[in-house]
Every structure is written in C-alpha cells, then in structure tokens.
Structure 1
Amino acid sequence: MADRIAVNSATRLSEAIHKLTAMYREKKYVVVSFREGKDRTLDQNALWFALYERIAQMTNIGDVEDARSYCKLHVGVRILLRDCADYRETWDRLFLHWSYEDKLALMGAHPVAGPEGLAVTRLFNRKQGIEYTDRIVSEFTGRGVFFGDLLGEAAA
C-alpha cells in the first residue's frame, strides 16, 4: 500500500507520524522517502498541454505531441541536466550519443521510454515546472506565438 502525505502543517506532520507508526506496527517493514517542495499541480499540466496546442497551431513544429516532445527535449531536459547530477550522468551515459531525431523520438511514446516518453516534466519540482513554462513562453513568443489568453494576461 503506497500512501503520500504532504506535510505542510503541524496537524499534517502528526498525521504522517501516526500513519508511519501504524504501518510499522502492522508490517514491521516500511520504506520511507522524503522530498522538499510542493508537487506540480494538475493546473500546471493543463497549462502545458494548452501551450503545446498553441505551439502546434501557430508554428510548423507539427502536432501537439511533436510540440510536447520538442519542449521536453529543448527546455525540460536542459533544466534537469543543469539541476540533477544523477539525471545528467544517466543522460550522458545512455543518450548523449543518440542522434537528435532519436532523442526527440524518445520524448514521446517510445519502446524504451514507454507511452509517456522519457521522464522529464514529471520529475520536476514546482520551481522547475514554473521555469519550464516561462522558458517555453519566452522561446515561442519570440517566434510569434501568442500565449496571453492562456496565461491570464491582457492582450497587448
């Protein structure tokens, strides 16, 4: 049984300790992992999909999945390579020698990476997710793509 508890108050900390104690008493073996920061939100995932749709509509990059793959490779992978030594080491060992086309294909449904493609955005913490959004918007605004309506900004 896998449970996740976000500890953001004294009450939630107490609940987590109680849950851990109960699991230990029942099973005598419990695996625990800790991570700082907030999770990405479903709203963030929905925003990314809307960005990919807009990019697909307003550029010659391809369809929504092509836009998603492009953004994951050109923006997301770069964030993880910068921020995560383990990811960088694994990327360099396994994928650095791959062609650009093969790396791009790895970002979508792929026999090696599964139906969602290589883990990139799902590994982000909240801060990395915000940076990912900002960098996509910056890059594609420079190419003439308008995102203001998606981001709640007034049209210029």
Structure 2
Amino acid sequence: MTDRISVNSSARLFEAITKLTAMYRDKKFVVVSLRPGKDRTLDQNALWFSLYQRIAQMTQIGEVEDARRYCKLHFGVPIMRCDCPEFRDGWNRMFLHLTYEEKLELMGPCPLLGPDGFPVTRLFNRAQGIAYTDRIVAEFSAKGVFFGDLLGEVAA
C-alpha cells in the first residue's frame, strides 16, 4: 500500500498526518519520503487536458482522447526517444515495427497498458513537460487553434 499526498494546505497536512498515524498504528513500520516543491503533474496534467479539449473542439482530430493519443505519439514519444537512450532502445525494439494505427492505439486506454496507455508523459521531467506543451501549441496554433486563454496570454 503506497499513498502519495501533496500537502498544500492545512487540511492536506492534517490528512497526511492522520494517514501516517493510522498506518503506523496498523503496521508498526512505515517508510516516509518527503521533498519540498510543487507536484508538476497536477498543474501540467490539467493544462494538457485543456489543450486536448481545445484541439478536439477546433480541429477534425476527433474526441479529446484522440487528441491526447495524437500528442503523446507525435510529441511525447520523440521527446523521450531523443532524451532517454533506454526509452529509445525499448521503443525501437518493441514498437517501431508496428503500424501507425497500432502505435496510436497504444497511447490510449487499453487492456494491456491500463487506463493511461503507454507511459510517455508520466515519464517526463519538468523540461520535457515544457517542451511537450510548446510543441503542441506550436503545431496546433499554426492550424488555427487558439490557446492564449489557457496559457495566460493576451490576444494580439
């Protein structure tokens, strides 16, 4: 049993202490890891979902999940293949031979890989997440999709 709690309020701190206390009482041994900082995944995932929604609304790509699959395959996989030799070697060995449609399918929910599909964006560090966002915005802005409100930019 592993719990992950981001403490960003008094209520969340209380929740963390309560869970830790209960786990200690129940098991008598608990391993705790702490690190300062904001969890990138919450804010970035929310932004990415908003980008996927906008892409689905303003293009012929399909539903939100179709936009997500497209972005993971077209932007996320190249970032990981470039930055991580182990990822690149594994991708090349296991997936490079698949058809485009098969690769795209793996990026979304499937029985083999679960509800998030093939892990790509969850492997990102902060810089890779920023590059992913930038590439999505660059490609789809060029196709007429407006993201300024999502990115906090003012229209010119």
Q: TM-score, normalised by structure 1?
A: 0.76
The sequence identity of aligned pairs, in percent, is: 70
Q: Distance in 2 between matches of 1:132 and 1:43?
A: 14
Paired residues in the alignment total 134
State the Cα RMSD in Å: 2.6
The within-5 A match list for 1:27-106 is 40-106=40-106
Q: Displacement of 1:115 after TM fit? A: 1.4
Q: Displacement of 1:128 after TM fit? A: 0.5
Name the amino acid aligned to 1:132. Answer: Y
CA separation of 1:91/1:135 partners in 2, compared to 1, >3 Å: closer, same or farther?
same
Aligned-partner SS, 2:74: helix
CA separation of 1:3/1:49 partners in 2, compared to 1, >3 Å: closer, same or farther?
closer
Q: Distance in 2 between matches of 1:57 and 1:44?
A: 20
Name the amino acid aligned to 1:123. Answer: L
C-alpha deviations, 1:97-146, integer Å up to 9, x for none? 00000000000011222111000000000110011001100010001100
Q: Displacement of 1:41 after TM fit? A: 3.3
Q: Displacement of 1:78 after TM fit? A: 0.5
Q: Distance in 1 between matches of 2:2 and 2:148?
A: 39
Aligned-partner SS, 1:116: coil
Is it true that 1:111 corresponds to 2:111 in the alignment? yes
Q: TM-score, normalised by structure 2?
A: 0.76
Q: Distance in 2 between matches of 1:39 and 1:128?
A: 15
